[in-house]
A and B are shown apart, each in its own frame.
Chain A
């Protein structure tokens, strides 16, 4: 790449920290901001630095939040005795949009993966146990992904909750609504078959 000057090169390489942005896209963004949209650039700078200064993790559920407790944890109308455990913050939003769930959340930010060195501590398990021990929880809903690692994580947390006599449930695996059996991949179909419900 032809050198255009240290500030421009630095901006191009800084933009590459975004997911999906390679050298070409970073260069295009840089030229766009500098040539055509300097106001937009200013706004970006302010929004970014404001967000970096003010957004932390909720003390309770570990989701991103501007306050000590996020709006969901701070809402006393929500059920306090049901706890849903998810892998990523985006899973919280997905469940909120799709369901009528009115309980609490806990975000692990990942799943157990020994080969990546991710163990219980990295997932905030000690904090979760503290929560389970200090509050009255009737049910723990395990909403980790249906991958092998997600299942292992669910099992791990499930055991901890069961040892405390808390009801543990796991999201069902099944056929997507509106799907056709013929076109469903075999492992999903076999899970759905073995997990059939009596009517």
Chain B
């Protein structure tokens, strides 16, 4: 087969010098590979890392194929500080949500764009939310952001809604409920612009519940990293 554009999402050691690799490829979706001898250090080349654009090819059939060729494309994305934790979060999301061998070039492009945006230190919250939105929509779980699914009316800026992952926004009146999202925040997410602190906070909670729904109860460990950072720091302060 021809070389295809790819990123490694995760690798773990297998036998003495081999690795089991989870890769996101542009033309074949997510692929699990056995990479024989990948951990053997060759002179003049540094080991393959995540966030590094690659060219890959493999042979074999079924869920686990064997890596035949691997080459580095342009320089890898260098995520520093919090951006590296965000990158690990995106990788975990992809491994847990993407089925194997389903080509989805748009997801690959969205991932690449998000990495580049994280590298440039753009707002991490916005980058992650837009990536999540793109990922869900290309997986076929696109968000409904323009109409109240109960009444069929358009979303109003000052309306308060509850977002049901399987249907969409439902308007609620009067009572103060947990996990609501304002029409204004839904509009920001729909138009992908105008975000502020309040709308990002609401959208984050809404996205978390939607993603949890599709994860079907499996935990995201990288989320605990962010939580851990806050928790360990607030204990003393």
Residues of A within 8 A of B (CB): 19-20, 112-120, 125-126, 129, 133, 147-149, 151-152, 155-156, 159-160, 163-164, 183-188, 190
Contacts and interface: CB of A to CB of B under 8 A. Distances in A.
A148 B51 contact: yes
Contact of B220 (A114, A116, A151, A187): A114
B46 A188 contact: yes
Contacts of A186: 75
Interface string B54-91: 00000000000000000000011001111011011101
Contact of B16 (A19, A115, A125, A164): A19
8 contacts: A112-B88, A114-B221, A115-B22, A119-B225, A129-B235, A152-B85, A183-B44, A187-B75
- Quick one: which of A114, A117, A120, A160 has the most chain B CB within 10 A? A114
Contacts of B75: 186-187, 190
B: contact size bracket: 35 or more
Contacts of B1: none
Contacts of A19: 16
A152 B91 CA distance: 13
Contacts of A147: 47, 49
A117 B221 contact: yes
A116 B92 CA distance: 10
Contacts of A187: 46, 75-76
Nearest to B81: A155
Contacts of B76: 187
Interface of chain A: mostly helix, strand, loop or mixed: helix
B228 A152 contact: no
Contact of B87 (A113, A148, A164): A148
Interface of B: 9-10, 12, 16, 22, 43-47, 49-51, 75-76, 79-82, 84-85, 87-89, 91-92, 95, 220-222, 224-225, 228-229, 232-233, 235-237
Given A119-B221, A125-B228, A186-B75, A164 B45 contact: no
Contacts of B16: 19-20
Contacts of B85: 152, 155-156
A185 B76 CA distance: 12
B79 A160 contact: no
A115 B91 contact: yes
A158 to B, nearest CB: 8
B218 to A, nearest CB: 11
A172 to B, nearest CB: 15
A119 B51 contact: no
Given A119-B228, A151-B84, A185 B45 contact: yes
A125 B16 CA distance: 29
B131 to A, nearest CB: 16
Given A19-B16, A115-B91, A185-B45, A148 B221 contact: no
